[in-house]
Amino acid sequence: MADLGVGGVEMRKVTKRFVTPTGAAMTAIHDIDLVVEPGQFCAIVGPTGCGKSTTLTLAAGLERASAGSVKVSGKPVEGITKDASFVFQTDALLPWKPVEANVALGPMFRGAAKSDALALARDWLKVVGLSGFEHHYPHQLSGGMRKRVSLAAALINKPSILLMDEPFSALDVQTRAIMSNELLALWERTRPSVMFVTHDLEEAIALADKVVVITAGPGTVKAVFDVDLPRPRGAVQEIRFAPRFLELYQQIWEALREEVERAYSRTSLANNSARASA
């Protein structure tokens, strides 16, 4: 297949093993094949501990693949991927810096003058609706507001690919719906490619163009579903009632359920045997 353009991600037969401190090897993902086209919103779902997050760290260049090839924007990943931004489950804001300084970190690390970086940061805070909170410290904001700051901090670098690791799972249900809408609106402004890891299938379908189901660990791609719901999607709360949404949900859930059950029986088996041996 030809190289994908800027922001595209291509993973071929990617395997990642970790070596535990005791010396045992653990395979997190195994022979993953995954393509995210430029500008595509790709959601990755799978049971707990299947290595969903590992695929993101490989795309970001935080970890090296043990085997296989990882390409971003057509180039093999060596070192930290340029043009990528990451949004973590727990917000990765520096608690000792005010909000605007946190958002300004990206441009500053890339050599912008401090005043320029701060001005740009204030613009982005306006975009995410946080004007007036520039000088607050992160702990003075609510969870949803902190998430907006994280989004602004991630988008300020104009990434061609946005990596999101269960970004909204720490939020309450209402805030989560609001943040999903805001994410879609922001995404439509600059249209980076997105790899969005979640364990929430509804969230995945409501947001994404494509849903990738990963098997129970060691994770590999089980199935890929195209989500043909029209864009712009509007409120994610409402699209959940669309007939096509329910159809897709049923299809994908069929594939996902087996894996979830397998992962669950494995952990409960482990618990039982641990109890028996105790």
Partner 1 sequence: MSVQSASPAATDYAAATDEQSIATAAKARLRRRKAWVLTAQIGVAVIGLGAWQLGTVTGTVDPFFFGSPLGIVLRLIDWFTNGTAYGSFWLQIWITLEEALLGFVGGVVSGIVVGVLLGEVPFLADVIGPYIKIVNALPRIVLGSIFVMWLGLGLPSKVLLAAVLVFFVVFFNAFQGVRSVDRNLVANARILGASRLQVVQHVVFPSAMTWIIASLHVALGFSIIGAIVGEFLGAQNGLGLVIATSQNTFDANGVFGAMLVIGVLALGAEGIMSLIEKRLLAWKPKSASESTVQGL
The residue from 85, 160, 215, 220 that contacts partner 1 (CB under 8 A) is 85
What's the one-letter identity of residue 18?
F
Residue 189 binds partner 1, judged by CB under 8 A: no
What sign has the CA pseudo-torsion 258, 260, 261, 265? positive
Q: Which of 19, 22, 16 is nearest to 62 (CA)?
A: 16
Would you list the DSSP string of 170-220? TS-HHHHHHHHHHHHHHHHHH--EEEEEES-HHHHHHH-SEEEEEPSSSB-
Residue 110 binds partner 1, judged by CB under 8 A: yes
Q: Restricting to residues 162-181, which ones interact with partner 1 according to CB under 8 A?
A: none
Residue 2 binds partner 1, judged by CB under 8 A: no
The residue from 71, 97, 199, 262 that contacts partner 1 (CB under 8 A) is 97
Helices (H) and strands (E) in the chain, counts: 9, 10
Burial of 2 (0-12, 13-18, 19+ CB in 10 A): exposed
Tokens of 118: 């701060």
Tell me which stretch binds partner 1 (CB under 8 A): 26-34, 90-98, 233-241, 270-278: 90-98
Residue 90 binds partner 1, judged by CB under 8 A: yes
Q: Of the two residues 116 and 261, which places its CB atom closer to partner 1 in the complex?
A: 116
- For tokens 């790709």, name the residue: 42
The residue from 8, 46, 51, 106 that contacts partner 1 (CB under 8 A) is 106
The residue from 24, 25, 139, 277 that contacts partner 1 (CB under 8 A) is 139
User: What residues make contact with partner 1 under the rule CB under 8 A?
Assistant: 57, 60, 62, 80-82, 84-86, 88, 90, 92, 94-98, 105-106, 109-110, 137, 139-140, 153, 157
